[in-house]
Structure 1
Amino acid sequence: MPAFSVPNSCLFRFAVVLCFAALGLAGDPYVFYDLTVSYLTASPLGVKQKVIGVNGQFPGPILNVTTNWNVVANVKNDLDEPLLITWNGIQHRKNSWQDGVSGTNCPIPAGWNWTYQFQVKDQIGSFFYFPSLGFQRAAGGYGGITINNRDIIPLPFGFPDGDITLFISDWYIKSHKEMREDLENGVGLGSPDGVLFNGLGPYRYDNGLIPDGIPYSIVTVDPGKTYRLRVHNVGTSTSLNFRIQNHNLLLVETEGSYTVQQNYTSMDIHVGQSYSFLVTMDQNASSDYYIVASPRFVNSSDWTKAVGVAVLHYTNSQGPVAGPLPDLPNENDKFFSMSQAKSVRWNVSASAARPNPQGSFKYGDITVTDVYVILNRPAELIDGKWHTTLNGISYLAPTTPLKLAEQFNVPGVFKLDFPNRLMDRPAKVDTSVINGSYKAFVEIIFQNNDTTVQSYHLDGYAFFVVGMDYGLWTENSRSTYNKWDGVARCTTQVFPGAWTAILVFLDNAGIWNLRAQNLDSWYLGQEVYISVVNPEITDKNELSLPDNTIYCGALSPLQKDQAQRVNFSKGTPQFPRTVQTAVIAIVAAIIQTLMTR
């Protein structure tokens, strides 16, 4: 009989501790999240409705990580339909397998879980996650991602006294399923029923407009202190003007880039965009103050009620906020918002995720190798169904994701023939992909022929916003480009009847989603994928197929029933095999020693 016995549960806990110890020696830290996506009942505008929450919260929790950390997120789908979570702005270096969009991943079936693992490699800043399928973001399912600097990289401003995340969004009482059905039948979204702050309705600033009893968001602050406010427009389709009564917004960062620090009284934040402001609480505390998010680029009286209002509350405030809301700036001046957008510039002297200055990447000196002029059009009938298009093509999502089809050489799933300009032919529905050359430097011009502001996002990259103007883009438009300090970000707005030009260096191998962030445009077909293949295929250039891959479409026979996974209380780790092997060997040896003593 051994000198002492160890209960199996203790052995297991001891093994887990050893696993974490071994992983800590293997490189950058790991952080684990369990995220359960499910329906909740809420009344953000005073009417009970079904929303999508994460871990019982609406909005979902904030993932707070640091540059180069490895994130392991075990996502459980408790909805009644398939789910994918995309990590808006996370670049997934060499790892488009974790992107969470239909072109790279099979959906997580209802009742299943899937574990994402990715590294926030060489990134800092403010981002968010959300469900990417079936118009689900219109019902919620989103949460924040904050990537902090490593200790050795200083902030280009004084360390703030607090960090506050605000989600602003247009909101409809209709369910996301009803909204997508309307779009399929040619019925537009119309004006929203309201605008939310962190999932809550407006403060009752006007008794005639706002019903009594609607819960609203309160941001509590200490006088004299400076806070970093991370503001994300996670809405469906509406550009929103963000402002705080009597307070300046010092812009310091947008989507992973530190900006030239400038004061604004308000900022137009378009769908899918994220900004960081420093706000100093330097006003008297005779009363609270309004925080407002108002729709932009609308001209209907139906939008009057669609104003989001939260309350800024000083801890020594002497009374509630009252009176009219602060005015929407330059409401009828279409050039105001564009001029403001052009004023957002890269801080080329600040270090970001690395010690070198952001501006050390001299994008203006690089020769452009490919040019795409991408034209969007409003919804139109194609073969009797409503579709939106980019360069006359409405994207058709295949049953076998593009990335899996490429991996297994499945024929006929997609074609590398997306045109670099609008072709003289009827619009069509097709699975057409951009053939991107590895390490090409690509110029993309978005030309907006719609009547509303459109936002476009590219997964896997930060691109440089170098120009925008009203009218049609021409070759001569390049003379207006900012080739020195155009901001690097992942989402840009394109104003109605205008163009926006970006430059992007295709150094991240994979298949990457280029999409409209406006859900109505995206749902009806405004997306395309860019295939970037590194000719030297190794694990150093692109990570291999994950062990936990879900299979669908032509590859469905490869799928087995979902395996039972050991839950380490904070997600399901999917570590590199070399690390797994070493850890298993160490743990097995120690347990064997304990069992035989």
Structure 2
Amino acid sequence: MALFGALLRVAICKALLFFSVCFAADQVVNYELEYKYIIASPLGVPQQVIAVNGKFPGPVINVTTNEYVVVNVRNKLDEDLLVTWPGLHMLQTSWQDGVLGTNCPIPSKWNWTYQFQVKDQIGSFFYFPSLKMQRASGGFGSFIITNRPVISLPFGFPDGDIVVFIGDWYTRNHTALRDDLDNGKKLGRPDGVLINGKGPYRYNSSLVPDGIDYETINVNPGKTYRVRVHNVGVSTSLNFRIQNHNLLLVETEGTYTSQQNFTSLDIHVGQSYTFLVTMDQNASTDYYIVASVRFVNESVWQKVTGVAVLHYSNSKGKATGPIPDPPNDVYDKSYSMNQALSIRQNVSASGARPNPQGSFRYGSVNVTDAYILRSIRPGVIGGELRATYNGLSFDHPKTPIRLADLFHVPREYKLDFPHNPVDRPPRKGKSIINGTYKGFIEIILQNNDTNVQSFHMDGYSFFVVGMGYGEWAENSRGSYNRWDAISRCTTQVFAGGWTAILAYLDNVGVWNLRTENLDRWYLGQETYIRITNPEDTDNKTEDPAPDNVLYCGALAYKQKAQKTSSATTLLGSSEPYLSLLLLFFAILYIL
């Protein structure tokens, strides 16, 4: 017996070594996110906002490449909830995407656990609630994927990490905003711009009332910080700048960029950028951090400006005087577009893997399918204000698309989304795109609306190969960047212009294509792309429906009562999982 015990101890030690070597890169991290209303006054007016774990904005989720992420979401709101993770590729598992076309919503007072792997990814992203305009009341937080230690950064390791949320804000909460849209009204001018959930510093006593709490970011002189900026607003493009400081752009939405300095950068709704900022100024005073609106009459929108304070530890006084000017391009529509086109991929930098990101020669791949998605100003369809792509305003099926496929629920959607704008009156519909597995798709985003729009594709990064004003034409392809176009998941489409993207459809599932502008999204400006592998008879290229899948619509009868649970790993609690594995290896070793 003593000999057996000794052998078992040796076996366990060897198993531990084996496990640490083979599985160290695939750790499991657990998070709990509780969504609940709180009262806050970011613009000096008490209002209901959506907090996560009691915080507004919510906590940072910080993980490392290849880790399995388990997030238990508790819905303490008085309405349904889904949390989505834009920019995360979620390989083979649109079941975890957190949008209405792929998931049944989490009912009020229920919880649901998301489980996915951040496979071969790095970068700065954010999570938010995807239903019913809820992001307009908060519920967002930063999602950071850090390099594995074996992969070097294409820049010096920063001295600190700073997350900055910017976004337009209304003192009416999301329920009032969607009531306005339901009644055919426009949302109107926002009441302000928040920085990290707080109102503006009182840089001007006539524009900013006294008593508003503002954000202060503390730094040390001579240090370089990685500053991750997310536009989480409703519908407004913002210009971001830090007084007297250069913004060295290094990454956007999971792709390292060619490094260039900006004094300011336009950041559109739903977009994320990462800068290196060196604190190289003298500390005679604090400095302004500014997020101001773009493409509007600035004299009318003066009050809609976000201002925070950059405070050096040795600062000698408060920031004073006028805020730094925005880009002076009232008569030059090309300024912001040229700035966007200058953002290129760093083709020599490694990302999540040792090989350079630019090794995928997208410019030489033959396009197998093409779509033009045209958006126009919202109009009335069947007595309702609606927004469209190609004249179709998406009408969500009662049973999510992938769930309807799995259980053969008929007539929930149609695979007939038009390749081009159709000359017919706009209508509501359940049409989606039938994607070809491992096809290479070209999507032209034609914006005939009057506002800048942001286009987003779940489950993928795409190459932003071209932009222009006017109508896209066949010869516009001659202007495409076929070498180092930025790869990202959210791109701007300027009013009266077009943007062209290319995407390799290697991720099976059902993925949302949408505008990130919340009013247009709520009014139906979205569709889905369904990608299946016809040769996959053993279902190896897509994860099966999770054990905790929610049922609704035609399958509501299958839903069991809610079970109280806490965050667990993909295979249950992490400690028993490790124990069982070690015991298994130990027994194998003995045998």
TM-score by length of 1: 0.92
State the shift of 1:490 in Å. 0.1
Alpha-carbon spacing, 1:397–1:24, altered in 2? closer, same or farther (3 Å): farther
CA contact (8 A) 1:364 1:484 kept: yes
SS of equivalent residue, structure 2 residue 72? strand
Counterpart amino acid of 2:570? Q
Q: Is the 8 A contact 1:115 1:574 kept in 2?
A: no
Tell me what 1:414 maps to. 413
Name the residue aligned to 1:337. 336
Asked if 2 retains the 8 angstrom alpha-carbon contact of 1:168 and 1:293, the reply is yes
| Alpha-carbon distance in 1 for matches of 2:467, 2:84 | 28
The answer on 1:544 being equivalent to 2:544 is yes
Hey, what's the Cα distance between the residues in 2 that align with 1:553 and 1:350?
Answer: 46
Q: Give secondary structure in 2 for the equivalent of 1:277.
A: strand
Structure 1 range deviating more: 404-413 or 23-32: 23-32
Q: 2:169 aligns with which of 171, 196, 216?
A: 171
Q: 2:245 aligns with which of 232, 244, 247?
A: 247
> Tell me, what secondary structure is at the counterpart of 1:88?
coil
Which structure 1 residue ranges, 5 or more long, are not aligned?
1-17, 591-597
5+ residue gaps in structure 2? 1-14, 587-591
Contact 1:104 1:402 in 2 (8 A): yes
TM-aligned CA deviation for residue 149 of structure 1: 0.5
1:72 aligns with 2:70: yes
Q: Quick check: 1:381–1:387 contact (8 Å CA) kept in 2?
A: yes
Residue 484 (structure 1) aligns with: 483
Q: Which residue is equivalent to 1:593?
A: none
For 2:64, give the aligned amino acid: T
1:519 corresponds in structure 2 to 518
The one-character-per-residue Cα deviations of 1:121-147 (angstroms, maximum 9, x if unpaired) are 000000000000000000000000110
The 2-side partners of 1:426 and 1:38 are apart by: 42
Partner in structure 2 of residue 15 of structure 1: none
Distance 1:424 1:212, change over 3 A: same
**SS of match in other structure, 1:389:** coil
Q: Deviations over 1:479-503 (max 9, x none)?
A: 0000000000000000000000000
**CA–CA distance in 1 between the matches of 2:105 and 2:579?**
31
* Equivalent position SS for 1:169: strand
Q: Distance in 1 between matches of 2:95 and 2:321?
A: 51
CA distance in 2, matches of 1:134, 1:334: 33
Match of 1:573 in 2: 569
Match of 1:556 in 2: 556
What is the alpha-carbon distance in structure 2 between the residues aligned to residue 444 and residue 364 of structure 1?
15
Q: TM-score, normalised by structure 2?
A: 0.93
Q: CA RMSD in A?
A: 2.1
In the alignment, is the contact (CA less than 8 A) between 1:112 and 1:562 conserved in 2? Answer: yes
CA offsets 1:464-515 (integer angstroms, 9 cap, x no match): 0000000000000000000000000000000000000000000000000000
User: 1:258-290 CA deviation, whole Å, 9 max, x = no partner?
Assistant: 000000000000000000000000001000000
TM-fit CA distance, 1:46: 0.4
Deviation by residue 1:314-345 (Cα, 9 ceiling, x = unmatched): 00000000000000112412111001000000
Paired with 1:263 and 1:582, the residues of 2 have a C-alpha distance of 47
Q: State the Cα distance separating 1:44 from its structure 2 match.
A: 0.1
| TM-fit CA distance, 1:534 | 1.0
Shift of 1:423: 1.1
Q: Separation in 2 of the partners of 1:146 and 1:585? A: 29
What is the letter of the counterpart of residue 333 of structure 2? K
- Residue-by-residue CA offset, 1:134-182 (whole Å, 9 max, x unaligned): 0000000000011011111110000000010000010000110110111
Cα offset, 1:577, TM superposition: 12
Give the Cα separation in 2 of the matches to 1:274 and 1:89: 10
Matched to 2:159, the amino acid is D
Give the whole-Å Cα distance in 2 for the aligned partners of 1:37 and 1:245.
Answer: 35
Matches within 5 A, 1:98-247: 98-247=96-245
Q: Identity of paired residues, percent?
A: 62
The change in CA–CA distance for 1:67 and 1:588 in structure 2 (over 3 A counts) is closer
Quickly say closer, same or farther: Cα 1:483–1:319, change in 2 above 3 A: same
Match of 1:402 in 2: 401
Which residues of 2 match residues 426-575 of structure 1 at below 5 A? 426-537=425-536, 538-565=538-565, 567=566, 571-575=567-571
Which is further off, 525-534 or 420-429? 420-429
1:298 to 271, 296, 301: 296
Matched residues in 1 for 2:490 and 2:454: separation? 7
Asked if the contact 1:349–1:357 (Cα under 8 Å) also holds between the matched residues in 2, the reply is yes
Question: In 2, are the aligned partners of 1:153 and 1:351 still within 8 Å (CA)?
Answer: yes
Cα contact 2:456–2:489 (8 A) shared by 1: yes
- Please list the CA deviations of residues 74-102 of structure 1 after superposition, one character each: whole Å capped at 9, or x if unmatched: 00000000000000110100110000000
Amino acid of the structure 2 residue aligned with 1:518: N
CA pair 161-188 structure 1, distance change in 2 beyond 3 A: same
- Do the aligned partners of 1:23 and 1:579 also contact (CA within 8 Å) in 2? no
Aligned equivalent of 1:10:
none
Change in Cα spacing, 1:206 to 1:543, as seen in structure 2 (3 Å) is: same
Instruction: Quote the Cα distance in structure 2 between the aligned partners of 1:411 and 1:587.
Output: 47
**Equivalent-residue separation in structure 2 for 1:34 and 1:251 (angstroms):** 32
Instruction: Give deviations 1:282-303, integer Å, cap 9, x for gaps.
Output: 0010000000000001126431
In structure 2, the residue corresponding to 1:268 is in which secondary structure?
strand
Displacement, 1:573? 2.6
Matched-pair contact (CA < 8 Å) for 2:29–2:569: no
Larger deviation: 328-337 or 22-31? 22-31
* Structure-2 residue corresponding to 1:8: none
Question: Tell me, what secondary structure is at the counterpart of 1:303?
Answer: coil
**Partner amino acid, structure 1, of 2:408:** N
Deviation track 1:51-83 (CA, whole Å, cap 9, x = no partner) reads: 001000000000001100110000000000000
